[in-house]
Amino acid sequence: MSKTANPQRQLDTLLREAVALQQNGAFAEAEDLYREILKLRPKHFDAMQLLGALTLQSNRIEEGIELLKKAVAINGMQAPLHSNLAFAYNALRRFKEGLASANRALALQADFVDALNNRGNALAGLDAPADALVSFERALTLRPAFAQAWNNRACVLRDLGRAADALASCDQAIALQANYAEAWSNRANALSDLNRPQDAQQSYQRALELAPAFADAWNNLGLTLVDLNQHEEALQHYERAIALSPAFAEAHWNASLCLLQLRRFEEGWQKYEWRWQRNRIKASQRVFAQPLWLGDFSIAGKTILLHAEQGLGDTLQFCRYAARVSGLGARVILEVPSELMRLLTNLDGVAQLIEQGQPLPPFDCHCPLLSLPLAFKTELASIPATTPYLFADAQASQRWAERLANSGEDSTLKVGLVWAGGSRPHVAELRKNDARRSIALDALRPILEIPHVRFYSLQKGPAAQQLAQTPELGARLVDYTDELTDFADTAALVANLDLVISVDTAVAHLAGALGKPVWILNRLDTCWRWMLERADSPWYSSAQLFRQPVLGDWASAIESARAALATRAESAKSPTHRTS
């Protein structure tokens, strides 16, 4: 009898020792004991699942998943096991599997707080922030002192556009755990969303005092320094993040934007290729059997596919390179969104235009449009700056000319207005950019009050509803946008205007590509393409920039544009408009 009892007693003793070592942070010693137990009894459930948990603590996530799956095969009725698997899958961004494991844990134990937290993280990763919020709030109802759930709740509140609530949630996490570096960093993220960069800077610095190797905080502090117009310092912070985490795509990407803003084009274009490693972008990367061309081999006599990426404005800006590619002796196929098909029909250098989603003809190599500056080693002086390179349809333009001439309008200047970019609320990063680059129609009131100007709305999307919501301002604009079905229609109308005033959106690029005078109302944390402190643009000779002097100060930028327009309207008055 003693012979059969002794091995069990030995295993129990080893297990107790291993658990004590693990609880005291002696992971290597604990692991040795767990493995000794598993040598003696390969299907020892406790040793298997505890070793799995230990490997997760040691950040050996893949190994931990394999161990936990073996434990599930031994006994799949333990909720903590499935919850740990959910945690591990989430860490690898395998959110569907994370959600499935969290749901299994909750099916076994409905009020298992850790599983609710892991379920929330999985749902957040699957872009279901509202559902994630329900899960976090259920966890907090059951365990109000759960600091991690308060912190995670803050992240999804930001995704839902509730930055002030996110800030309060971070403060709850910090009240429970004062040295919680991630909560300090997320607090700073919320402050950044609220356009409070000085306060954000302080919270990031607190996070970094607590965790000097916190690469994400170094990266986000860089973004806040951009908001404070400190670009060289921002670049140093991105480089610090990269030194800590060399494969940190977001930090490389942000560094690329900063380098391009600072006109350090050679480094900037090279780092810009990191966009394809970003979690938000990588799924949209095109994979072809044909090689990617980045200027590194001859394309004379070859057929190359140039394909649009990112926004419509990007396509309008960089389609200019088609002529340069054709000039190397290649036959150019250009693939673009449907909204641009008619406009780009006669683009110089393009042999065949393909609508996105349609079957592709044969080709020998390919290049995304925004990699072409890298392929051509574009510097400031070598930007293909000749405009116009896009042209409105002559017949459609003539119809608009006759229509505007017959409208009985005797104003001197015809000015098109765009006050908001496209709304992309499903992506937190883009929602923040859209909010910062866009203004309300009411903010343009000083411009709309200038006499001797006829204003035309070029605003599409939800922001166009502001015309009806503010009828006294709406009455100052002629609105033909219901007749503008694509960018060819818009180009034909813009061709008959004297000037376009726009926030940083696709219509600004359209006007610039048409060679039409365009005034761009630009946020302080400007897109890289407008660089820094310039009132002009090397990309569009007809563009003039009116910049915020500090983050969020639209009033100053609009006042500068108002004064310039008033002067232009006064000087442009024809003799028939003057009184004797």
| Dihedral class, residue 534 (left if φ above 0, else alpha if ψ from -120 to 50, else beta) | beta
Among candidate residues 250, 285, 320, the one where a domain is terminated: 285
4 pLDDT more than 60: no
The answer to whether the beta carbons of residues 325 and 299 sit under 8 Å apart is: yes
Query: Do the beta carbons of residue 441 and residue 473 sit within 8 Å?
Result: yes
**Helix, strand, coil percent content, the chain, rounded in steps of 5:** 60, 10, 35
| 173 and 264 fall within a common domain | no
Residue burial 547-565, b: 16+ Cβ < 10 Å; e: rest: bbeebeebeebbebbbebb
What residues make up the domain containing 19? Answer: 2-212
Examine the pLDDT at 426 and tell me if it is beyond 60.
no
Higher pLDDT, 103 or 404: 103
Instruction: Determine contact, residues 290/302, Cβ cutoff 8 Å.
Output: no
Mean pLDDT score across all residues of the chain: 91
Counting beta carbons within 10 angstroms of the beta carbon of residue 445, is it exposed (0 to 12), middle (13 to 18) or buried (19 or more)?
A: middle
Interval 563-578 mean pLDDT? 76
Q: How sure is the predictor about 494, in pLDDT bands with cuts at 50, 70 and 90?
A: very high
Report H helices in 438-545. Answer: 445-448, 466-469, 471-474, 487-494, 506-513
Beta bridge partners of 453: 413
Whether residue 365 lies inside any domain: the answer is yes
Cβ neighbourhood burial of 74 (10 Å; 0-12, 13-18, 19+): middle
Q: Please tell me whether residues 13 and 147 are part of one structural domain.
A: yes
Q: How do residues 253-284 score in pLDDT, each as one tens digit?
A: 999 999 999 999 999 999 999 999 998 888 88
φ/ψ of 275, rounded to 5, equals: -55, -30
Whether the model clears a pTM of 0.75, i.e. scores above it, the answer is: yes
Boundary-marking domain end, from 358, 382, 406: 382
Structural contact between residues 84 and 52, judged by C-beta atoms closer than 8 angstroms: yes
Same domain, 281 and 364: no
Three-state SS at 408: coil
In order of 259, 532, 538, the CA distances from 273 in angstroms are 13, 22, 22
Q: What is the pLDDT of residue 559?
A: 97
Looking at the fold, whether 206 and 217 belong to one and the same domain comes out as no
Say yes or no: 250 and 180 in one domain.
no
Backbone angles phi, psi at 548, to 5 degrees: -65, 135
Residue 40 lies in a domain: yes
Final residue of a domain: which of 212, 237, 254? 212
Q: Are 72 and 86 in a shared domain?
A: yes
389 in a domain, yes or no?
A: no
Are the C-beta atoms of residues 417 and 521 closer than 8 Å to each other?
no
pLDDT for the residue 578: 39
- Do 169 and 196 have their domain in common? yes
pLDDT digits (tens, 9 = 90+) for 63-74: 778 777 887 778
**Per-residue tokens: 54:** 């230990």
Cis peptide bond N-terminal to 388, omega within 30: yes
Tens of pLDDT, residue by residue over 219-232, are: 999 999 999 999 99
CATH of the domain at 229: 1.25.40.10
Alpha-carbon gap, residue 269 to 377, rounded angstroms? 8
Q: Is the pLDDT reported for residue 89 higher than 50?
A: yes
Same domain for 79 and 143? yes
Rg (CA), the chain: 29
| pLDDT for the residue 400 | 95
Amino acid residing at 21 = L
Q: Tell me whether residue 387 is in a domain.
A: no
Could you report the per-residue pLDDT of 9-32, keeping only the tens digit for each? 777 777 777 677 677 777 777 767
- Based on the fold, state whether residues 43 and 120 are members of the same structural domain: yes
Q: Classify 302 in phi/psi space as left (phi over 0), alpha (psi -120 to 50) or beta.
A: beta
- Predicted local distance difference test score (pLDDT) of residue 2: 41
Whether residue 306 is contained in a domain is answered as yes
- Residue 336, burial from CB neighbour count under 10 angstroms (0-12, 13-18, 19+): buried
Size of the chain in residues: 580
Q: What is the mean pLDDT of residues 476-489?
A: 95
Looking at the fold, whether 419 and 326 belong to one and the same domain comes out as no
Report the share of the chain in percent with pLDDT over 70. 94
The predicted-structure confidence for 431-449, as pLDDT tens digits, reads as follows: 788 889 999 999 999 999 9
- pLDDT of res. 566: 96
Contact 114, 85 (CB under 8 A): no
- Determine phi and psi for 359, rounding to 5 degrees: -60, 140
Q: What is the pLDDT of residues 176-202, one digit of tens each?
A: 999 999 999 999 999 999 999 999 999
> What total number of domains does the chain contain?
4
Cα separation, 166 vs 155, whole angstroms: 7
Indicate the SS3 state at residue 524: coil
pLDDT of 38? 65
Lowest mean pLDDT among 48-57, 164-173, 203-212: 48-57
| Residues 199 and 253 both lie in one domain | no
| Residue 389 vs residues 168, 356, 491: alpha-carbon distances, Å | 50, 22, 12
Query: Is 580 domain-assigned?
Result: no
* Same domain assignment for residues 378 and 403: no
How far is it, in rounded angstroms, from Cα 339 to Cα 352? 16
CA distance linking residue 1 with residue 506, whole number of Å: 83
Query: Is residue 157 one of the residues assigned to a domain?
Result: yes
- CATH code for position 363: 3.40.50
Ordered strands of the 477-479 beta sheet? 477-479, 453-457, 413-418, 499-503, 518-522, 543-547
Name the token pair of 468: 């009806």
pLDDT for 6 equals 66
